[in-house]
Amino acid sequence: MIKAQRGTKDIFGDEVATWQWIFENAKKTFQNADFTEIKTPIFEATELFNRGVGDSTDIVNKEMYTFKVGGAEKNETSITLRPENTAGVVRSFIEHNLNRQSPPQKFWYFGPMFRYERPQAGRQRQFHQAGIELFGIKEPTADAEVIMLAVDFLNALGLNNLTVELNTLGCNKCKNEYKESIKKVLLPYLEELCDDCKMRYKKNPLRILDCKNENCQKIFEIKEIKEIILKDYVCDECREHFTELQSYLDNLNIKYTINKMLVRGLDYYNRTVFEIKSEALGSQSAVCGGGRYDGLVEMLGGTPTPAIGFAMGVERLYTLVDKVAPKKNDFFIVSNNSNEAIKLARKLRLKNKRASFDLQKRKFAKQLEKASKTAKYAIILGEDEINENYYSLKNLATGEQKAIKTFEELLNLS
Ligand code: ATP
Ligand code: MG
């Protein structure tokens, strides 16, 4: 038997109702804030992620599904299944000159992402993210709106017990000074750092702070290193941006904690970064990660455009939310006359009712049994009903049955 690949999952049956409910809530929350949906391709040129996610990240170094297509004689190209969606949205933003519309340009998405990781609870190889990207605004009002929408989306799903962790990485100027002092203080310990951190030391030293390796964590606790890490290094402008953001969040009554170690996995972030966590998830506690990436559009060849966004892990949300019961059909048509049954089902569906009928010409009793399992009402179309032009309607919750004269009356029922 051929089985699903490790780290992938089929979603069907009762689970679908909850999935659809999560999607509907994302759609409602983001559309109400004037974000429009964007659907970009599932695969992109490998180079987009190498540059757009960054070659010091775990994603690019270890987790990408990359393969060659075309063959040597036909312009062989390297493509990658998207491991995240910011790079793809930015590519699309540049390619279609979306910066010509007046800012802010706001987009939301919901779809599968692919990372070659070790599968475990809350970690799959094909997983889904719901996210938003907001372009064109450098003011901290945008940061506040984006964080607010993450919180409001989670609240809409009934999730309130969450921690918003917040940090500022500063701009290129102050970030670079900080990087240099981190490098300096870590230099004597370079050989003791893990191999990943040795590489990060060269490519993006800030990412070292994100390391989960126990030995590296111990090194961060050494007094003179900790002091440098926790130093308030950002410049006046960045500090002002961060303070203003906090005042918006306070005003909105959104609780947060400042985590100076929060640097996030991707290379392109500047200024605001944030994560939302739920203790209920155990070791994979992050449901949402986001931040500002003012340099990315320019780095990928567009005109300089400030931007900020987040991505939520839908599978992790799924484990946290109360499961939604699948909705029942409005009607099941019980009849031995397939021609009448199929016509009536179609008529109801065109009026936006959920209706089903028997496809197998089974006995009335069998059809009624199916009806009571799957629908709110059975519409019985026997010979009498067809000849005399009425419907026998059975309420499947109460068992009550009555005659209904017109189609309009049926429509008003459920
Ligand atoms: P982690 O530290 O858990 O690996 P990350 O920094 O790689 O997270 P992001 O790239 O920020 O994650 O993605 C945003 C969200 O997507 C995460 O907070 C998480 O909820 C979800 N996510 C990331 N990778 C996976 C995965 N392999 N399986 C399921 N969900 C994931
Ligand atoms: Mg990861």
Q: Which of 346, 26, 331, 292 lies closest to 170 in space, CA to CA?
A: 292
Report the alpha-carbon distance of residue 190 to residue 186 in Å, rounded. 6
Nearest listed ligand to the Cα of residue 312: 1
The domains located in the chain, with CATH, are 15-171+234-320 (3.30.930.10), 329-411 (3.40.50.800)
Nearest listed ligand to the Cα of residue 129: 1
318 burial level (CB within 10 Å; 0-12, 13-18, 19+):
middle
Tally of CB atoms within 10 A around 340: 15
Distance from Cα 114 to the centre of ligand 1, integer Å? 11
- The answer to whether 335 and 392 have CB atoms below 8 angstroms apart is no
Q: What is the pLDDT of residue 280?
A: 80
Query: 251-281: per-residue pLDDT in tens?
Result: 999 999 999 889 886 777 899 999 999 888 8
Collapsing DSSP states into helix, strand and coil, what is residue 195? helix
Bridge pairing between strands 391-395 and 375-381: antiparallel
Give the tokens for residue 378.
């059975």
The amino acid occupying position 105 is: Q
The residue to which tokens 């049926």 are assigned: 410
Q: Which of 52, 25, 167, 165 lies closest to 108 in space, CA to CA?
A: 25
Report the alpha-carbon distance of residue 53 to residue 47 in Å, rounded. 10
Query: Within 6 Å (CB) of ligand 1, which residues are found?
Result: 84, 115, 117, 122-124, 127, 129, 265, 284, 286-289, 311, 313, 315-316
- The counts of H helices and E strands in the chain are 16, 16
Query: 59-71: per-residue pLDDT in tens?
Result: 999 999 999 998 7
Distance from Cα 325 to the centre of ligand 2, integer Å? 31
Q: What is the pLDDT of residue 283?
A: 77
Q: What is the pLDDT of residue 284?
A: 77
Q: Which of 29, 12, 246, 250 lies closest to 130 in space, CA to CA?
A: 29
Of ligand 1's listed atoms, the one at least distance from the Cα of 115 is 27
Residues in a beta bridge with 258: 166
Report the alpha-carbon distance of residue 108 to residue 131 in Å, rounded. 6
Residues in a beta bridge with 68: 78
CA-nearest residue, atom 23 of ligand 1: 313
CA-nearest residue, atom 16 of ligand 1: 313
User: How remote is the C-alpha of 229 from its chain's centroid?
Assistant: 31
Of ligand 1's listed atoms, the one at least distance from the Cα of 122 is 29
Per-residue pLDDT of the chain (414 residues; tens, 9 = 90+): 999 999 999 999 999 999 999 999 999 999 999 999 999 999 999 999 999 998 888 899 999 999 999 877 778 899 999 999 999 999 999 999 999 999 999 999 999 999 999 999 889 999 999 999 999 999 999 999 999 999 999 999 999 889 999 999 999 888 888 888 888 988 888 899 999 898 888 888 888 888 888 998 888 888 888 888 888 889 999 999 999 999 999 999 999 999 988 988 677 789 999 999 988 887 778 999 999 999 999 999 999 999 999 999 999 999 999 999 988 999 999 999 999 999 999 999 999 999 999 999 899 999 999 999 999 999 999 999 999 999 999 999 999 999 999 999 999 986
Distance from Cα 313 to the centre of ligand 1, integer Å? 6
- The answer to whether 272 and 292 have CB atoms below 8 angstroms apart is yes
Bridge pairing between strands 126-135 and 43-45: unpaired
Give the tokens for residue 262.
């929060």
- The answer to whether 331 and 355 have CB atoms below 8 angstroms apart is yes
CA-nearest residue, atom 5 of ligand 1: 265
On the question of a cis peptide bond just before residue 112, with omega within 30 degrees of 0, the verdict is no
Q: Is the dihedral of CA 149, 150, 153, 154 positive or negative?
A: negative
Q: What is the pLDDT of residue 70?
A: 86
DSSP 31-62: HHTT-EE----SEEEHHHHHHHT-TTSHIIII
Long-range contacts of 113-119 (CB under 8 A, 24+ apart): 113/82, 113/83, 113/84, 113/85, 114/42, 114/65, 114/81, 114/82, 114/83, 115/59, 115/63, 115/64, 115/65, 115/83, 116/62, 116/63, 116/64, 116/65, 117/7, 117/62, 117/63, 119/6, 119/7
Tally of CB atoms within 10 A around 127: 20
- The answer to whether 162 and 45 have CB atoms below 8 angstroms apart is no
Mutating to test ligand 1, I would choose from 86, 267, 288, 308 the residue with most ligand atoms within 8 A of its C-beta, which is 288
314 torsion bin: left (phi>0), alpha (psi -120 to 50), beta (else): alpha
Q: What is the pLDDT of residue 227?
A: 87
pTM for the whole structure: 0.92
Report the alpha-carbon distance of residue 58 to residue 232 in Å, rounded. 27
